[in-house]
Amino acid sequence: MDEIYAIIPVSKFSDAKTRLSPFLSPEERENLLKAMLKDVTSVLKKYVDEIIIISGDPDVLDYGKNLGALTLVEDENSNLNLALKQAMEWTKNKASKVIIIPSDLPLIAKSDIYTLINHGKSQNFIIAPSRGGGTNILIIPPLAIETKYGEDSFRKHVAEAIANKLPPLVYDSFFLSLDVNIAEDLGEILLHIEESYTKKYLKTLNISVKPIHGVQRLEVTR
């Protein structure tokens, strides 16, 4: 058994990207998450054996099925780490490795995801950090560690790997470090990728970006 499954946890569409609320309407934030999820699944399909979307939102699960993913209904009164444990329990007799990845990696098409997953065939712990100390990708055998998503999760996950005698391989990548939380992140998408579902959607919103010198690197306007 050497199959690799991707696990994508997705919260409710109605809760999508609330930090962008000053810049995008609720409907726009939901459509943005749908576009990013479509980009993530489109890239992963080329390199993994199955894609699992786990969520407690029926709308997310229906959308995931339309993308060709397998779907799991998240247990009630769960949270991100419990949902990932539930998904890994489901995969443990089906896959030798899982790649845990968020739904909002809009530059994934620019990343060398093939190389990363290839490393995962011989390594038992690979982590790609996000900006600010978080974790954007984990590749591990199912249930090899207890996930610690939340504040400072990169450091906590590396510590979990060491405690479980799994030599950690850190995979630094600008393209995989970018998730979307603020308007400036939308500017990075427009600057760094030629074409994607996410960029195509942002263009319909008439969003423009220009580099600036200051506390912020980019000025993003509508």
Domains and CATH numbers, the chain: 4-180 (3.90.550.10)
- CB–CB of 139/98 below 8 Å? yes
Angle among Cα 208, 210, 216 to the nearest 5 degrees reads 110
pLDDT at residue number 215? 66
pLDDT at residue number 212? 78
**Structural tokens at position 142:** 């199912």
CA of 80: how far to CAs of 8, 36, 76, 99, 180, in Å? 11, 19, 12, 15, 18
**Structural tokens at position 9:** 């946890």
Per residue of the chain (222 residues), what is the pLDDT tens digit?
689 999 999 999 988 899 999 899 999 999 999 999 999 999 999 999 999 999 999 999 999 999 999 999 999 999 999 999 999 999 999 999 999 999 999 999 998 899 999 998 899 999 999 988 999 999 999 999 999 999 999 999 999 999 999 999 999 999 999 999 999 999 999 999 889 999 999 999 999 898 877 667 788 888
Q: Is the pTM of this model over 0.85?
A: yes
